[in-house]
Chains A and B, each alone.
Chain A
Amino acid sequence: MTLALMSLLLPLASALVLLVLRARSPVLMILATLGSLIAAAGALYQVVDGGEQLLALGGWEPPLGIRFRLTPLSGLLLVFTALIHLLVAFYAAASRHSQTRHTDYWPLSGLLHASLVALWLSNDLFNWYVTLELLGLVAVALVTLAGPKAYRAAMRYLILSLVASLFYLLGVALLYGRYGVLDVALLASLTEADATTHTALLLMTLGLMLKAALWPLHLWLPPAHAGAPTAVSALLSALVVKGPLFILWLIWSEIAPPALARDMGFIMALAGVAALLSGGWSAMRTPYIKTLVAYSTVAQLGYALMALGLLLYWELPELHVALWLFVLSHGLAKVSMFLAAGEMQATLGSKRISALTGATQTMPVAMFAFAVAGGSLIGLPPSGGFLAKWLLLQPLFAEPANWFWAFAVLLGTLASAVYVFRVVALAFDRAKPTRPDFDPHVLAQWLALIPALLVWGMALVSQPLILWLTGVTH
């Protein structure tokens, strides 16, 4: 548990140090992230080895105090968060075009990291509210780093984020009033299917859906993610939207009464399908590179939502694995995709997709990263995206009555193939390639490629990973 706390405290402390000193040193933050990664890995090892660990902060036991809980899954998420932060930090430090080299990105990303870690470790509703609030504020601050052009999007993000927090807080208050406890484990044993609980859960769900940009409350996401600096976009898409999703998953699979969960699951799954289609469609049609990637996040979250909804609807534990594999593989792929897209956009001097004409010639590595990451989003074997989709598909085929969902997945796959390859195909157009405004930066391109290779590398450990996840999620 100490290691998990280390993983939380290292980035937090460094961020505070940087804030206090008004310094913007990448080195410190990278070292802190590295330390956090090592600590997280150690924590994961411990928890796998020794089982779940609990820590009551300040020595107060629930229901009075707050309690951190380190499960194998949260251990994995710690590692994942630190890893992504590290990868993005390397890029942010190395790339000339990251817009983040000498900005407040460094302390803010440390805060973001810390709040995410706190979120994964927390296990009670109010703690989550705090981390969510922190997460939202830091995220908005990060978006504004892009300068005045991003203010509009950041403002909308901020407003909606606050509204979402409000909804969530209302729900938490209702539950607290009804049951008097906030700890998930305690609540799970208490909840009853009455009107208050329903209302509270619905309010929380709406808030979380708005925060996680789940369809139809995703409207703020594309402008915010597309407008943010490249490194920030990567973090937002890969990690920040996953936080609320984590909470959503826990409250519905642990706290909610089963009957309500089943109904809600169906609606969530439908919303997931709608997200797949509408996000995919918008990504197919948009003329801007980063907006395309952002819409692809909306679509990919549809898979996660669908997995979550269906696991509630059918009470199928194996879908947990699909859900978390989606989260992991999407995170890695999206980092790579945003970094590559941002790098290309900056080097080629235009936000438009048409500027990528001939990019296989001018920026081969970045384009390759984009394509490889896109392959995972489509679900081409043997990428991580494929594994997740495969696991999701299995139960969908069990009964002819479920084939509708499989058909939705098929449509989603086709849509993702279209939006990824509309870019890739254009990049092969050698007739009139766009001349780069700057010399393409090779190191930055390679840094963009690494997460994509990692997500395909998941194939190497796929079977143990799946079996392990099956064991730890339920």
Chain B
Amino acid sequence: MAPEWTQLLPVAVVLSSLVPGLLIFTLREHQVGLRTALNLGGVLLKLLLVGLMLWGVSQGLSFRFALPFIPGGELVLQGDALSLQFVALSSILWAATTLYAIGYLEGAPLRSRFFGYFSLCVSATVGLALAGNLVTFLLFYELLTLATFPLVVHRGTPEALRAGRMYLAYTLGGGALVLMGAALLHLLAGSPDFTPGGYLAPLVDDNRAGLTLAFALLIAGLGVKAALIPLHSWLPKAMVAPAPVSALLHAVAVVKAGAFGIVRVVYDVFGVEPVALLQLNEPLLWLAAATIIYGSLKALQQREIKKRLAFSTVSQVSYITLGVALLGPIGAIGALVHLVHQGLMKITLFFCAGNFAETLHVHRIREMDGIGRRMPLTMAAFTVGALGMMGVPPIAGFISKWYLGLGALETEYYWVLGVLVASGLLNAAYFLPMVYRGWFAPPPEHWPEDTGLGGGRGGIRETHWMLLWPTLFTAALALLAGILASTGISPLAWAELIVAREFES
């Protein structure tokens, strides 16, 4: 029996970046054209396939591919609404980042290796998104760890090495915890497909201790990647990676994988009611709230652009966890939509930081004085991202905050609203000075080092076009996701669709 195309599509989506990635490994350094063609070909193919799958899912088709793996746990790739949201996000941002990385690394050594691992990283992310059960999820979760490590240490400097070691120590530890949790659940219930509403409800009465331990293990393991305190320290250190890697790390791949995992575990493995019965959501809520505040406070203390952005990620990603832990449908919308929105805004910010560093060698916040006159478009994109992070309407971040706030009230966690307000204030406190410096402070006599990329004039030729266009593209997406939030094509609409499916059962 020949398999249906709906069975093969999830595999094809994963392979569309995996195969080019493996091919790129075999290329020699100077084969720039072929490498670029492979990269972009993979990107386009993936976008096409994901588009097809999005269409299919909205038509109610189901995409499922299964391989036997261990007794009671197949390897399953499936496209449901939730996974598609993450897949679409990662594919689109991967496309932007690939273009950006090609421009960023022009002339740098070891590009074949970089792009090879880069593609592997995205394949693992997409696989993780499409994973249909906990075992498969675990598999891709570990692969992601491994594929990202070479990217983190790509520069090969002692500092990068230190960061890489720290990254590995945390994420492999986290992976081990997830393995433990998954094994425990496998024993209790096998590893059936992720089910809206969870599949553990019948077990709650008899296995309270087991389920609680499994939840703790899984959340601790996923919390490493999602950078929940006290497991977040690797993330700011990992900032030594090249800008496209940081962008991908923070917006899509690693951090989001953790957050996405938490979403999966709470909604599709445990289910809302068992979590509430076991009283597991409140500790999670407190943890997320503490992370939000702590991340912002640490961000205030940073003097480097990327470091500050990194701590901001620590804070912002926990919004997702916060929304999930609220356990209400509105909070869930906030969490899911923030998964996308944070990605769009944060990737923009990192692109901008990369542009500043590449074009003018500006790394520290102090050096941003007057950069808006030299690079107005990049600075405008930065402003959109920064204001969005603060939750200023009509940028995407506002939509997230709106739903998170309403979700908190819906489930009567009034103090969460206070957390959101405090976080907004702190966000303003560390983002606005950067925006101020960029636009209003007088520019210096000369920049740290003006490489004259693109043409060296403010405007459309302010830097290499491959660096500028992705930045503007993602900034525009962040803005449009907010302005067009109520239309059918927005991330919000899709999040509502997911939540409707999750909470109807």
- The answer to whether A and B touch directly, with their CB atoms under 8 angstroms apart, is yes
Given A463-B70, A467-B71, are A397 and B176 also a contact pair (CB < 8 Å)?
A: no
How many angstroms between the C-alpha atoms of A406 and B164 in the bound complex?
28
B interface SS class: helix
* Chain A residues positioned under 8 Å from B69 (CB to CB): 382, 459, 462-463
> B183 to A378, Cβ gap below 8 A?
no
> B164 to A418, Cβ gap below 8 A?
no
How many angstroms between the C-alpha atoms of A410 and B172 in the bound complex?
11
* Chain B residues positioned under 8 Å from A358 (CB to CB): 156
> B183 to A430, Cβ gap below 8 A?
no
How many angstroms between the C-alpha atoms of A381 and B143 in the bound complex?
8
Given A398-B187, A400-B209, A431-B157, are A466 and B179 also a contact pair (CB < 8 Å)?
A: no
* Chain A residues positioned under 8 Å from B168 (CB to CB): 417, 421, 425
Determine whether B175 belongs to the interface, using a CB cutoff of 8 Å to chain A: yes
Contact of B183 among A360, A393, A466 (CB under 8 A): A393
Given A390-B70, A410-B180, A425-B165, are A381 and B138 also a contact pair (CB < 8 Å)?
A: yes
* Chain A residues positioned under 8 Å from B169 (CB to CB): 418, 421
Report the interface size class on chain A.
35 or more
Determine whether B135 belongs to the interface, using a CB cutoff of 8 Å to chain A: yes
> A403 to B213, Cβ gap below 8 A?
yes
How many angstroms between the C-alpha atoms of A371 and B71 in the bound complex?
27
A-B contact count (CB 8 A): 103
* Chain B residues positioned under 8 Å from A430 (CB to CB): 110, 155-157
How many angstroms between the C-alpha atoms of A284 and B386 in the bound complex?
43
Given A387-B70, A463-B71, are A425 and B176 also a contact pair (CB < 8 Å)?
A: no
Determine whether B9 belongs to the interface, using a CB cutoff of 8 Å to chain A: no
> B187 to A394, Cβ gap below 8 A?
yes
> A428 to B179, Cβ gap below 8 A?
no
Within 8 A of A (CB), among B170-191: 172-173, 175-177, 179-180, 183-184, 186-188
Name the residue of chain A whose CB is nearest to the CB of B162: A425
> A414 to B176, Cβ gap below 8 A?
yes
How many angstroms between the C-alpha atoms of A410 and B181 in the bound complex?
11
How many angstroms between the C-alpha atoms of A222 and B173 in the bound complex?
27
Chain B 131-161 per-residue mask, 1 if CB under 8 angstroms from chain A, else 0: 0000100110011001001100101111001
How many angstroms between the C-alpha atoms of A141 and B164 in the bound complex?
42
Determine whether A171 belongs to the interface, using a CB cutoff of 8 Å to chain B: no
Tell me how far the C-beta of B378 lies from the nearest C-beta in chain A, rounded to whole angstroms: 30
Chain B 399-418 per-residue mask, 1 if CB under 8 angstroms from chain A, else 0: 00000000000000000000
Contact of B158 among A422, A424, A431, A462 (CB under 8 A): A431
Determine whether B210 belongs to the interface, using a CB cutoff of 8 Å to chain A: yes
Given A397-B183, A397-B187, A414-B173, are A381 and B68 also a contact pair (CB < 8 Å)?
A: no
> A428 to B70, Cβ gap below 8 A?
no
How many angstroms between the C-alpha atoms of A466 and B188 in the bound complex?
19
Given A417-B172, A417-B173, A417-B176, are A394 and B186 also a contact pair (CB < 8 Å)?
A: yes
Chain A 409-435 per-residue mask, 1 if CB under 8 angstroms from chain B, else 0: 110011001100110111011110000
How many angstroms between the C-alpha atoms of A387 and B70 in the bound complex?
8
Tell me how far the C-beta of A40 lies from the nearest C-beta in chain B, rounded to whole angstroms: 26
Determine whether A227 belongs to the interface, using a CB cutoff of 8 Å to chain B: no
Contact of B180 among A386, A393, A428, A466 (CB under 8 A): A393
Determine whether A375 belongs to the interface, using a CB cutoff of 8 Å to chain B: yes
> A428 to B164, Cβ gap below 8 A?
yes
> A428 to B153, Cβ gap below 8 A?
yes
How many angstroms between the C-alpha atoms of A417 and B177 in the bound complex?
13
Name the residue of chain B whose CB is nearest to the CB of A371: B146
Given A380-B142, A403-B213, are A410 and B177 also a contact pair (CB < 8 Å)?
A: yes
How many angstroms between the C-alpha atoms of A350 and B188 in the bound complex?
49
How many angstroms between the C-alpha atoms of A410 and B183 in the bound complex?
12
Chain A 107-142 per-residue mask, 1 if CB under 8 angstroms from chain B, else 0: 000000000000000000000000000000000000
Determine whether A302 belongs to the interface, using a CB cutoff of 8 Å to chain B: no
* Chain B residues positioned under 8 Å from A279 (CB to CB): none
> B146 to A425, Cβ gap below 8 A?
no
Contact of B135 among A360, A381, A414, A424 (CB under 8 A): A381
Most A-side CB within 10 Å, residue of B110, B139, B180: B180
> A425 to B70, Cβ gap below 8 A?
no
How many angstroms between the C-alpha atoms of A177 and B57 in the bound complex?
74
How many angstroms between the C-alpha atoms of A345 and B155 in the bound complex?
25
How many angstroms between the C-alpha atoms of A358 and B248 in the bound complex?
25
Contact of A380 among B68, B146, B158, B173 (CB under 8 A): B146
Given A428-B164, A431-B158, are A379 and B71 also a contact pair (CB < 8 Å)?
A: no
A-B complex: 8 closest residue pairs judged by Cβ atoms: A430-B156, A463-B68, A393-B183, A381-B139, A397-B184, A417-B172, A428-B153, A413-B176
Other A-B pairs, 7, CB within 8 Å; known A414-B176, A417-B172: A381-B142, A393-B180, A394-B183, A397-B184, A418-B169, A422-B165, A463-B71
22 residue pairs of the A-B complex, CB under 8 angstroms, read A381-B142, A382-B69, A389-B179, A390-B183, A394-B187, A397-B184, A400-B210, A406-B184, A409-B180, A410-B177, A413-B176, A425-B165, A428-B149, A428-B153, A428-B156, A429-B153, A429-B161, A430-B155, A431-B156, A431-B158, A463-B70, A467-B71
